[in-house]
Structure 1
């Protein structure tokens, strides 16, 4: 028997095995198609159920993803056992267990972000639409996926933040409540009657409708500054960034106008020029060389 006969027998055996495997391949293909149909049907059912439930959008996406992945895993396992009859679900799970260790080391960051995404979606805080601050990033949460979160900055740039970053670092949710407290510093001159200044500032704050007048407005004499005595002024207004800027603008303009009407000075900061040196006077007949 020469090499050509051996090669021909092997090719014939491979062809015969492939022909014998065709029914299994057809059945596996049908199962994959049925899995695709079942996944679409399950997504529709999940969408209808979650649309009636009062749950967050991120949690709806998590349920949707888990149901879809679960159906596809079951369908692919069944199709694999049909194509390879010697492969049982138990051996497949055991093989996946060994392979998962190597995959886990290779894709450690991926799985870390994946698990962090699940935990972020499950917890109640940080919903889509919230304005957050984390690691110097301030913006509005637009989308939360299993791996990353899309944050739209206030200047309209889109920042894609890994979920592990949001999970491991402190996150300030600026819009967690409808209102938050804002504050500014107001300085008055040293010859000012502080009680009169406090009264003028409080009356100016009372006339601003954007401020929540039902909550306390704080006006505290804070410190002796270099050229002024500083008041800390605090009030409650909307928690969104635009509300913060608008209320601060109204407060600053109202206080400035009220202090001007009352004749109370807002002094400039006193700055000492340490670079100036005195130059002694030299008469023309002194004979001394002129100073440099």
Structure 2
């Protein structure tokens, strides 16, 4: 057998087949270009329509993604039918069915995060701009995609979290309501008039502008501490308009100023020396010699 001649015939046949499908490939590329244009304009139309409504930002992003994905799937399917003779959607579905198990294991995390992203966008809570805390991460939600969520921490660091983590774990939404309760522990000396101390703290909290005036300020004598009697002070402040740490700082300064004006002491904790006196070098040397 003339193997060289057989190889030449195969190469010529493949080249002729490639030349024959060039018009189909050109049409398929044109279909892909048209698909890109249609998807681009469709997303703009959806964004314009959604902008006129009261739709949440995350739902608007989900709608844009679904529209873009549907158009691209239709365009790719049409391009494959044109470029590959004998290709049918039924054949593609059958081929996917054969390898569905392998694909499922390979892309399990991607599918899980994708589904979690859709469910997060559909639920009412946790919108873009909310301050959340989950798995030790505290920050502001900047962006929600179908796979991950962008959280800007209070230290200005950006944390990209998989959607499955937000969906499976408890998420604390700190800005779900317009006001949030905060608290601080204030200790006074044992010889203090507790009624006077309580009244002084209440009056001091009334001078803090950031506190919501229509919510009660709670001042309770809570427990006997090691060196003081501790008061629990609780109040409500705006959760979105300002940093709660700033409000707490203003409250502490107001309480300290008021207690000083009344001559009420805030004692230091009693320190206990739990460590023995250190050994001298002579003692260590003697112990080693023994």
Q: TM-score, normalised by structure 1?
A: 0.89
CA RMSD of aligned residues (A): 1.8
2:99 is paired with a residue of what secondary structure? helix
Q: 1:145 — aligned with what?
A: 145
Q: 1:257 — aligned with what?
A: 257
2:250 is paired with a residue of what secondary structure? helix
Change (3 A) 1:271 1:4: closer
Of stretches 195-204 and 241-250 in structure 1, the one that deviates more from structure 2 is 241-250
Q: 2:285 — aligned with what?
A: none
The Cα offsets for residues 42-92 of structure 1, whole Å up to 9 and x where unpaired, read as 112111111112111111111111111111111111111222232211111
Give, in angstroms, the shift of residue 22 of structure 1: 2.4
Give, in angstroms, the shift of residue 276 of structure 1: 6.9
Structure 1, unaligned runs of 5 or more: 278-292
Cα distance in structure 1, aligned partners of 2:143 and 2:247: 29
Cα distance in structure 2, aligned partners of 1:120 and 1:154: 23
Q: How does 1:36-47 map to 2 (within 5 A)?
A: 36-47=36-47
Cα distance in structure 2, aligned partners of 1:104 and 1:7: 40
Of stretches 252-261 and 28-37 in structure 1, the one that deviates more from structure 2 is 28-37
Give, in angstroms, the shift of residue 274 of structure 1: 4.6
1:180 is paired with a residue of what secondary structure? strand
Q: 1:117 — aligned with what?
A: 117
Q: 2:193 — aligned with what?
A: 193
Give, in angstroms, the shift of residue 212 of structure 1: 0.9
Give, in angstroms, the shift of residue 194 of structure 1: 1.5
Cα distance in structure 2, aligned partners of 1:216 and 1:67: 49
Cα distance in structure 1, aligned partners of 2:46 and 2:98: 33
Cα distance in structure 1, aligned partners of 2:269 and 2:242: 29
Give, in angstroms, the shift of residue 115 of structure 1: 1.5
Change (3 A) 1:94 1:240: same
Q: 1:290 — aligned with what?
A: none
Change (3 A) 1:241 1:41: closer
Aligned length: 277
Q: Contact (CA 8 Å) 1:237, 1:243: kept in 2 or not?
A: no
The Cα offsets for residues 107-129 of structure 1, whole Å up to 9 and x where unpaired, read as 21122122111212222211111
Give, in angstroms, the shift of residue 27 of structure 1: 2.4
The Cα offsets for residues 217-243 of structure 1, whole Å up to 9 and x where unpaired, read as 111111111111111000010214953
Q: Does 1:222 align with 2:222?
A: yes
1:187 is paired with a residue of what secondary structure? strand
Q: How does 1:2-151 map to 2 (within 5 A)?
A: 2-151=2-151
Q: Contact (CA 8 Å) 1:134, 1:169: kept in 2 or not?
A: yes
Cα distance in structure 2, aligned partners of 1:242 and 1:188: 29
Change (3 A) 1:223 1:92: same
Cα distance in structure 1, aligned partners of 2:69 and 2:210: 49
Higher Rg: 1
Cα distance in structure 2, aligned partners of 1:4 and 1:265: 104
Cα distance in structure 2, aligned partners of 1:117 and 1:213: 39
Runs of 4+ in 1 over 4 A off after TM superposition: 274-277
Give, in angstroms, the shift of residue 100 of structure 1: 3.2
Give, in angstroms, the shift of residue 275 of structure 1: 4.9
